[in-house]
Structure 1
Amino acid sequence: MNAPAFPENQQKTAESAFGLFSAGQARHIFSRAHGSGLEPVVVEAAPRTFYIQPGMVNVALFETAEGLLLVDCGCAGDGPALLAAVRSVSDAPLHTVVYTHGHSDHAFGLWAFLEAGERPRVVAHENVPAHFRRYMKTAGLNARVNGQLPGPDGKTWASEESDFVWPDETYRDRLTLTLGGERFELVHGKGETDDATWVWAPDRRVLAAGDLVTGYLPNAGNPRKVQRYAEEWADAADAMAALRPEVIIPGHGDLVRGAAAIQDELGAMARYLRHIVAHALDGLNAGRTPDAIVESLRIPDDLARHPRLRAIYDRPEFICRNVVRRYGGWWNGHPADLLPAPAAARAAEIARLAGGTAVLAARARELQDTDPPLACHLAEWAFLADRSDPVAQECYVDVLERRAAAEPSLMAQVNFRVSRQWVAEARREGR
């Protein structure tokens, strides 16, 4: 396949995929007191159409004769900065807000507008309320998985109905909004979530995609999150491409401009995801184990090297496992793992056979540069065999940290570093 005619611009836009990222805000995602601390980016993407980046996510603003249509509203802490950014370009009333999905970084900044006296209607897919209720039900889990710290109110995650601005109106498949005589098409698609909406403004040739477009490999395989939908994500990419938009305001990262660049990106995204889905299903239908399916996955070079599909957040292997989980369940196919011995008991027996945890730890360090995956197993066995052993603790943290530091995928980095949490817990237990 020939290289795209616009690689320099694609590479440039991909470099800002995580927006105005603030580690402090990321650790207090539901705190209204924690914004990004950075100056919001405001760009007129098309006439009366604005791309606003108040923090790590993007917001689309459409100005109409009847008022403003806002697509997403950022994290809770983005609210004041987003309000100021909107008012810097228009003093028209906020008429309607659309949530592209119910994630913590996209649907929680609206409180600032409400406190300022705005009373917009809020529209979302019919699954968004269930998404919010799941957040409430799993607040402790989500806070831990997302590395959250307590905010000024002591809370780490949204857990009460008053923490949410609930939709006033929901829809199932498609919904047409008319503002100031202009149509805005809301279309449901599954991808990172089952409650996703993308918004098409046909008169402006602008599409607000939410997290169905992000400037990096789709987050369709997050290892510690609920089911993702790679197959339907590809369908959504095709549906968006069929409209031939000239501008896409993505959920994260820079604007995507130009019909050719958009067709290239959406087409490549759909092919990438379908390649993984087909590989996983072929393996399941052939009776292969999940590990064998993932280990044999190969991504075509033109897709693996696409500048706007880099594996800097998710990984193709994780997406593949998510497809396997969806169609084939949670079991890894190994009979001994169906009702296994406790992990600590297995590790202790391996350590006994090897000659002790020190032997396992030493071998892990020997292999950490030449065979990082095997080194991680050895280090983990040493630690699990004796959680109180300082040598095993140090080895476990060091080997997994080395693996994380060499890993481009944020999801892999974060989860390799769970080793730090486990060791910290073991040290607290030993006091």
Structure 2
Amino acid sequence: MTPTFPENQQSAARAAFGLFNPEQGRRIFDRTQGSGFEPRVVDVAPRTWFIQPGMVNVGLFETDDGLLLVDCGCAGDGPALLKAVRSVSDKPLHTVVYTHGHSDHAFGLWAFLEAGERPEIVAHRALPTHFDRYMKTAGLNARVNGQRPGADGKAWPDAREDFVWPTRLFDDRLELTIGGERFVVRHGKGETDDAAWVWAPERRVIAAGDLVTGYLPNAGNPKKVQRYAEEWAEAAEEMASLSPSVIITGHGDPATGTDAVADELTSLARYLRIIVEHALTGLNNGVLPDEIVATLEIPEQLRHHPRLPALYDKPEFICRNVIRRYSGWWDGYPSHLLPASQDAQAAEVARLAGGVAALVERARTLSATDLRLACHVAEWAFLADRSDEDARACYREVLEARAGAEPSLMAQVNFRVSAGWVHAATGEV
């Protein structure tokens, strides 16, 4: 089955990631697969640029002694990023800071190295462990992220030579002096435990990586390792205390203007703290996770904040991620502790309902009024008898309708996993 990017998925991806190309999205580690777009290069302060070569943003600071580059994009972004950098400066590449080890932020540096640059590469001490985890879970990550083999035959890096490793590690704070100017690199857990951000005090500019993206933080991804909403809020508050005038974001558009930046950072922190406090209060009072999530309320001014739309993650996902962090994997329902298989449960539901056809009919009826519930019924029908053609069609239709109605890219992608299940059930190659 060839992966597709339906229109609402492409729209959400463009809104979140800027110059998004589905082909690059499927081959993030392929050095030959660029975004196909001309990079955006924006002068955000004297000798300071926001560069967007594709789905990720890069910060560039020029000093008298050379360039400081913050992040380097996907593997295929390398050549375009090098060209973009050279369009504004001929200074040598002095230092590179990885804000974290994710696939779209730390893999385009090879093009600079092949061009003869030999920068110091700075990262948080946890980043090599992040790369090690990538190697250990290459198959899992390739599948979860929908990756396909690139020109080298690999869908995900699985050997040390697939990475450009940092040359200098730091723990909490590192001060760099480049060209007589001070740059402060700070650790702040958020989307990852190896996250870092860079403060240029003389320019009043922060290169934040994915700690700031111009939309609701990716703090609850259902298929990924632990996120850190609480520390993310702390990092945003620390940034706000510095009164920056510009933030070079990890995705989306940069944040500009002292007051606007302060509002975004403090609102981001408040949003996350509301979710964390709600989850912890529920856990401490013995409330089941489902009820904790169902009773989460986000104030209207935050839900409609122009720089915090839930176009990638969702508050509900973040809430569940907090619950996972502070409690076990069990959701508290006794029958779920040592459950019967989902197929066996679905088969029993089908028997009680009078057969798979009854479930299919009910799912289609519900889809007009309650898509959330319709998804469960359609899934029961499919799992009860994967060979039933009508059940397969219903499952795909209902879950596609749910994905089509969702603004969150993460929800869209994961609802559409159902199409892959249906395809597998047909036995087609």
Does TM, normalized by the shorter one, top 0.5?
Answer: yes
Match of 1:297 in 2: 296
Match of 1:249 in 2: 248
Checking the alignment, whether the CA contact within 8 Å between 1:31 and 1:152 is kept in structure 2 is yes
Match of 2:230 in 1: 231
Checking the alignment, whether the CA contact within 8 Å between 1:238 and 1:267 is kept in structure 2 is yes
Report the Cα distance in structure 2 between the residues aligned to 1:345 and 1:307, rounded to whole angstroms. Answer: 46
Checking the alignment, whether the CA contact within 8 Å between 2:98 and 2:123 is kept in structure 1 is yes
Residue 428 (structure 1) aligned with residue 407 (structure 2):
no
Checking the alignment, whether the CA contact within 8 Å between 1:140 and 1:157 is kept in structure 2 is yes
Residue 132 (structure 1) aligned with residue 131 (structure 2):
yes
Amino acid at match of 2:96: V
Q: Please identify runs of 4+ aligned residues in structure 1 that moved more than 6 A.
A: none
Match of 2:333 in 1: 334
Task: Give 1:255 shift.
Answer: 1.4
Task: Give 1:243 shift.
Answer: 0.3
Report the Cα distance in structure 1 between the residues aligned to 2:387 and 2:177, rounded to whole angstroms. Answer: 64
Task: Give 1:16 shift.
Answer: 4.6
Match of 2:154 in 1: 155
Match of 1:283 in 2: 282
Report the Cα distance in structure 1 between the residues aligned to 2:26 and 2:225, rounded to whole angstroms. Answer: 20
Q: Cα deviations across residues 237-293 of structure 1 (Å, max 9, x unaligned)?
A: 000000000010000011111000001000100000000001000100110110010
Match of 1:50 in 2: 49
Task: Give 1:15 shift.
Answer: 8.4
SS at match of 2:427: helix
Amino acid at match of 1:217: L
Amino acid at match of 1:219: N
Task: Give 1:116 shift.
Answer: 0.7
Task: Give 1:142 shift.
Answer: 0.6
Task: Give 1:51 shift.
Answer: 0.6
Match of 1:209 in 2: 208
Match of 1:388 in 2: 387
Report the Cα distance in structure 2 between the residues aligned to 1:119 and 1:189, rounded to whole angstroms. Answer: 27
Checking the alignment, whether the CA contact within 8 Å between 1:16 and 1:254 is kept in structure 2 is no
Task: Give 1:394 shift.
Answer: 0.5
Amino acid at match of 1:330: W
Report the Cα distance in structure 1 between the residues aligned to 2:121 and 2:284, rounded to whole angstroms. Answer: 44
Report the Cα distance in structure 2 between the residues aligned to 1:16 and 1:67, rounded to whole angstroms. Answer: 33
Q: Cα deviations across residues 318-374 of structure 1 (Å, max 9, x unaligned)?
A: 000000000011111000000000110000000011011111011001011211111
Report the Cα distance in structure 1 between the residues aligned to 2:29 and 2:354, rounded to whole angstroms. Answer: 48
Residue 348 (structure 1) aligned with residue 347 (structure 2):
yes
Match of 2:273 in 1: 274
What are structure 1's unaligned runs of at least 5 residues? 1-13
Amino acid at match of 2:279: A
Checking the alignment, whether the CA contact within 8 Å between 2:190 and 2:232 is kept in structure 1 is yes
Task: Give 1:115 shift.
Answer: 0.7
Aligned residues: 417
Report the Cα distance in structure 1 between the residues aligned to 2:245 and 2:166, rounded to whole angstroms. Answer: 29
Task: Give 1:152 shift.
Answer: 1.5
Q: Cα deviations across residues 17-42 of structure 1 (Å, max 9, x unaligned)?
A: 42101100000010001110000000
Checking the alignment, whether the CA contact within 8 Å between 2:244 and 2:261 is kept in structure 1 is yes
Alignment of 1:301-316 (within 5 A): 301-316=300-315
Match of 1:77 in 2: 76
Change beyond 3 A, Cα 1:414–1:15:
closer
Report the Cα distance in structure 1 between the residues aligned to 2:151 and 2:17, rounded to whole angstroms. Answer: 26
Report the Cα distance in structure 1 between the residues aligned to 2:45 and 2:137, rounded to whole angstroms. Answer: 40
Report the Cα distance in structure 2 between the residues aligned to 1:63 and 1:263, rounded to whole angstroms. Answer: 25
Report the Cα distance in structure 2 between the residues aligned to 1:81 and 1:92, rounded to whole angstroms. Answer: 17
Report the Cα distance in structure 1 between the residues aligned to 2:190 and 2:227, rounded to whole angstroms. Answer: 6
Match of 1:145 in 2: 144
Alignment of 1:412-423 (within 5 A): 412-423=411-422
Report the Cα distance in structure 1 between the residues aligned to 2:159 and 2:177, rounded to whole angstroms. Answer: 33
Amino acid at match of 2:25: A
Amino acid at match of 1:247: V
TM-score, length basis structure 2 = 0.96
Q: Cα deviations across residues 354-401 of structure 1 (Å, max 9, x unaligned)?
A: 011111011001011211111000000000001111111000000000
Match of 1:113 in 2: 112
Match of 1:9 in 2: none
Alignment of 1:402-413 (within 5 A): 402-413=401-412
Report the Cα distance in structure 1 between the residues aligned to 2:257 and 2:427, rounded to whole angstroms. Answer: 55
Match of 2:356 in 1: 357
Match of 1:220 in 2: 219
Checking the alignment, whether the CA contact within 8 Å between 1:17 and 1:254 is kept in structure 2 is no
Report the Cα distance in structure 2 between the residues aligned to 1:299 and 1:257, rounded to whole angstroms. Answer: 25
Match of 2:400 in 1: 401
Alignment of 1:178-193 (within 5 A): 178-193=177-192
Match of 2:21 in 1: 22
Report the Cα distance in structure 1 between the residues aligned to 2:183 and 2:15, rounded to whole angstroms. Answer: 28
What are structure 2's unaligned runs of at least 5 residues? 1-12
Report the Cα distance in structure 2 between the residues aligned to 1:151 and 1:358, rounded to whole angstroms. Answer: 43
SS at match of 2:339: coil
